Chain A
Amino acid sequence: MAPYIGTATSRVDGVAKVTGAAKYAAEFNTPGLVYGSIVTSTIAKGWIKRVDGSAAMRVKGVIDVLSHEHRPPMADDDKAYADEVAPLGSPFRPLYDNRVMFSRQPIALVVAETSEIARFGESLVRVEYEVEAPVTDLNRERDAAVPVKPPTNPFEALFTPPKPRGAPERALAAAAMRHEAEYCTPIEHHNPMELYAATVIYHADGKLTLYDKTQGVQNIQRYVCSVFGMKPEDVRVMSPFVGGAFGNGLRPNFEIVLAVLAARALRRSVRVVLTRPQMYALGYRPAMIQRIGLGATTDGTLDAITHDAITVTSEYEDYYRQETGWSGLLYTCANAKYAHKLAKLDLPTACDMRCPSAATGVYALECAMDELAVALKADPLELRLRCYSERDQNNNRPFGSKALRECYRQGAQAFGWDKRNPEPRSMRDGADLVGWGMATGVWDAFQAPITVRIALSANGHAEVACATSDIGTGTRTIMAQVAADMLGLPLDHISINLGDSNLPQSPVEGGSWIAVSVSNGIATTAASIRDELLRLAKQIPNSPLAATAPGEVALIDGKLADKGDVSRAISISDAMRQGGVERIEQEKTTNPSADAARAHNTHSAVFAEVKVDEQLGVIRVTRVVSAVAAGRILNTKTAGSQVLGSVVWGIGMALHEETLIDHRFGRVMNANIAEYHMPVNADVHDIKVIFVDEPDDSNPLGIKGVGEIGIVGVAAAIANAVYHATGKRVRDLPITLDKLSP
């Protein structure tokens, strides 16, 4: 049997997804289910004076109107609301009190027998406010921004700027070539296609089964237990399918609180589905202003990097990620310094969104590098190669592996970079100006502790269980591939159980750490299954494996075999049946070996072609080549799709996406998915993904993860291509056609 790892295996849940059998959070129906419709604030800041649900209550079928004035008890301390990935601060508590902290804040829930009645009832709820003037404009608040707090532990240190090195100011002032500029990126919203939803099944004994749209069922379970003072055995959270999340489902969102409140108030099963506009009251990618200074010698050796960022968060929580340090990690430079400030606005707290920090930080850096290349009259790719870092200078350590040079080489070749005329506006296709741009990408490779249970049956079928989510990335499929290879079984003999808080422990799915964590977790547990099989096999009279040591056997084609001599083998079913065992179950926790002596990163080289209509300024991204180095690729098909999707996100970031706020009211104006522009099919053309070989021994399977890396560098490559096409440098995203007009 050929191995499954590394192949283009089709998704094991593909049939469920193309037939409509896959069920998402709002799709678990139960008799007597009632519906909650959320009333949200029309003001961004102030106090609720009164919630009047009387008109709604007169509608036949409306059961109750919950609000801070009328609801079951909830915890009253911040700690109870601080989930596994909460930033510093005081988390938002839905329907807790009369304070309004952002526009579209949930302030009441109308519960009714049908969704139509609930929605109608919602329209009848009257709210009186005392309004305060909101502050939501980053540009006006930038001077009031405060530096992020120094880290108090290694976890916080991940998010704060690295230590400076050398004498960056002096080096920048003395540099023969200098580029300094400011780059702006707007608020973006995740907008997964599935609306945030929770279905709470209320059991007669008061226990709850929750179906929630989340990237971490156990995070939700702990949160619900602490907010409502419930016992873990009374709360089960399930999320078998998730219709995209992209970071937005890492923290508990308010649909789950509202649905549980209603279920406990009414002792009934409840469904709460957010409307699309209400999803603009969830987290978002923070708007930011970044200032980059690059100093270089005339031959293109970097001598100074300064990278400052101001990012947006709420008044009540300090969300930030480390935007700035990528600069001094990606390029060799003796002098570097970073700074990060937070602007606290009357908005919900920002949150992780696909490749938080690198998507934006590297955008600014890679545009600045392009500008430096122009100033130096150097080829942009040449400049990157001259500044290539062989060590992580931020932490003075080597890389576990880094095949970025190979990304540059293979990417450039596939794209035809050597045919680029360096002169802006020099390349044309009919009425279109043609531009070619490139950029580098970088992200972290993390591994987290995880527990996996495997149950092997004597008929050669195995169940693999872990509480991780599959938010669409293909987790279920790679888990099946790894288990099949580790257990020596065909793929269709493996069943995967995930997205259930009752299953063995998993961290939230994010940061590109699940593939590496769960795959190595499966390998660990499979090894102990193998040991148990060997113990049974040795008990068989005249066992061919009598003298074989545990490290010398492997599971191949349904058999336990001596690796040195595979003819010495016993089938799984013989070993188990002769040992009188029908089922072997093992549950093991895998803790990553701390390897802080080396830096662990994924890299990419992105090449983009744009065509710009010279008269109208319409920009099309006609070609992208993304060459990615991310260790071992478990499934070239699903990983390829992840990178393709990330490139589409990069196109959106470069050209389309922007959440627009009317700052007089602190309210999002384009809170829908027609006026918040996302790429559609006609915006996406030829995208080629290359995975370069990158052997890595940081973990037994050499995996790094690909969920984030694909978006990094894409917006910069496109922005650089737009400059090359038009001669116009736009430093605030998205690059809409109005910004290209003279």
Chain B
Amino acid sequence: MINTPVDTKDTEFPISRQPTHSELVARGVTLPIAAGLSSRAAAPPSIGSASPEVVSVSLTVNGTLHALMLDTRTTILDLLREHLDLTGTKKGCDQGQCGACTVLIDGRRVNSCLTFAVMYDGAQITTIEGLATKGTLHPLQQAFIDHDAFQCGYCTPGQICSAVGLISEGRAKTADDIRELMSGNLCRCGAYGNILAAIAQAMRRA
């Protein structure tokens, strides 16, 4: 973000993105870097719109159609967690680094934190809440329990959805393939060995 000693702002908004430090320097704007005083007070006065832009979006989530009016900035992840009360999908970083937010969109595994809802008007979404059928766990869910493929459980919905996607992709042939293709899903509890065993079990039975 501009007007700080360095360009260290952690997040940037996709709408009305402000110019970066180097862009401003290129335009000849001087930033108050040197002196003992730094300031953000000199920021350009108007920035973005004062009211959110709202659009209508229809999505099917776990077989239920939802017609919604959404802020254009709402991600699929926040849509699920904050609007539909489907909190099984987790937020571990909100920046595409951990896979905790993995859901299946039209059958493909996707990091829902990096995905705006408006981009998926009409899509079919399956979340962890939609995997079990009539009270019977999905084979991967059962395998995760059998192999103790989690501790805290926070990465687990993402791991399971990712594994569903992995199996339907059909690319994983060996244990090393599974490890590699599951490496976008971090598990800080370190359950990787058991996650591998659980997925291998489900693949054998698939």
Contact = CB atoms under 8 A, between A and B. Distances in A.
Given A19-B129, A131-B37, A193-B155, A645 B86 contact: no
Given A472-B151, A673-B93, A678-B186, A10 B146 contact: yes
Nearest to A640: B148
Contact of B192 (A241, A473, A679): A679
A29 B82 contact: yes
Nearest to A19: B132
Contacts of B41: 50, 52, 126, 128
B11 interface: yes
A591 B197 CA distance: 41
Interface string B12-52: 01000000000000000000000011111101010110111
A667 B74 contact: no
A117 interface: yes
Contacts of A129: 37-39
A59 B51 contact: yes
B145 interface: yes
Nearest to A277: B10
Contacts of B187: 193, 681
Interface string A586-607: 0000000000000000000000
B50 A681 contact: no
Given A128-B41, A473-B151, 12 more contacts: A15-B145, A18-B137, A29-B87, A42-B5, A42-B40, A60-B52, A131-B5, A193-B92, A472-B153, A638-B151, A645-B191, A665-B6
B156 A191 contact: no
A246 interface: yes
A641 interface: yes
Contact of A244 (B8, B176, B188): B188
Given A641-B191, A681-B192, A115 B82 contact: yes
B52 A20 contact: no
B50 A59 contact: yes
Contacts of B192: 648, 679-681, 683-684
A91 B10 CA distance: 26
B59 interface: no
A648 B190 contact: yes
Contacts of B100: 193
A22 interface: yes
B67 interface: no
A273 interface: yes
Interface string A108-140: 000000111101100111111111100000000
Interface string A663-690: 0010100011110001111111011000
Interface string A128-156: 11111000000000000000000000000
Contacts of A645: 151, 189-191
Choose among A242, A243, A665 the residue with the greatest number of B CB atoms under 10 Å from its CB. Answer: A243
Interface string B86-104: 1111111111011010000
B190 A637 contact: no
Question: Which of A123, A131, A193: most chain B Cβ within 10 A?
Answer: A193
B206 interface: no
B150 A116 contact: no
A116 B91 contact: no
B51 A61 contact: yes
B97 A673 contact: yes
A275 B196 CA distance: 29
A468 interface: no
B141 A684 contact: no
Interface of B: 1, 3-6, 8-11, 13, 36-41, 43, 45, 47-48, 50-52, 71, 73-74, 78, 81-82, 85-95, 97-98, 100, 127-129, 131-132, 137, 141-142, 144-146, 148, 150-157, 160, 176, 178-180, 182-196
Question: What are the 3 tightest A-B residue pairs by CB atom distance, in nearest-first order?
Answer: A20-B88, A472-B152, A648-B190
B13 A119 contact: yes
B87 A120 contact: no
Nearest to B156: A17
In the complex, which of the residues A11, A14, A29, A474 has the most CB atoms of chain B within 10 Å of its own CB atom? A14
Given A17-B153, A19-B141, A116 B71 contact: yes
A43 interface: yes
B68 to A, nearest CB: 13
Nearest to B84: A29
Interface of A: 10-11, 13-24, 26-27, 29, 42-43, 49-50, 52, 55, 58-61, 114-117, 119-120, 123-132, 190-195, 241-244, 246, 273, 275-278, 471-474, 637-638, 640-642, 644-649, 665, 667, 671-674, 678-684, 686-687
B94 to A, nearest CB: 6
Nearest to A641: B148
B193 to A, nearest CB: 6
Contacts of A194: 90, 92, 152, 154
Nearest to A52: B41
Contact of A128 (B40, B91, B153, B154): B40
A64 to B, nearest CB: 16
Contacts of A474: 151
Contacts of A667: 6, 8
Contacts of B160: 18
B5 to A, nearest CB: 6
A666 to B, nearest CB: 11
A117 B48 CA distance: 12
Nearest to B132: A19
Contacts of B129: 19-20
Q: Pick the most buried of B37, B93, B157: most chain A CB atoms within 10 A of its CB.
A: B93
Contacts of B194: 641, 644
Contact of B196 (A126, A195, A681): A681
A622 to B, nearest CB: 12
A11 B189 contact: no
Nearest to A688: B193
Contacts of B3: 126
B144 to A, nearest CB: 5
B90 A243 contact: yes
Contacts of B153: 13, 16-18, 22, 241, 243, 472
Contacts of A21: 88
A511 to B, nearest CB: 17
- Scoring B71, B142, B190 by chain A CB atoms within 10 A of each residue's CB, the highest score goes to B190
Nearest to A673: B97
B92 A19 contact: no
B183 A665 contact: no
Contacts of B183: 680-682
19 contacts: A16-B153, A18-B145, A19-B132, A26-B81, A42-B38, A55-B45, A60-B51, A60-B52, A128-B38, A128-B39, A192-B154, A193-B98, A194-B154, A242-B152, A276-B97, A473-B151, A667-B8, A681-B180, A686-B193
A681 B195 contact: yes
A682 B89 contact: no
A509 B88 CA distance: 25
Contact of A246 (B39, B146, B188): B188
B37 A128 contact: yes
Contacts of A473: 151
A26 B50 contact: no
A600 B90 CA distance: 39
B54 to A, nearest CB: 11
B91 A29 contact: no
Contacts of B176: 682
Contacts of A648: 190, 192
A127 B40 contact: yes
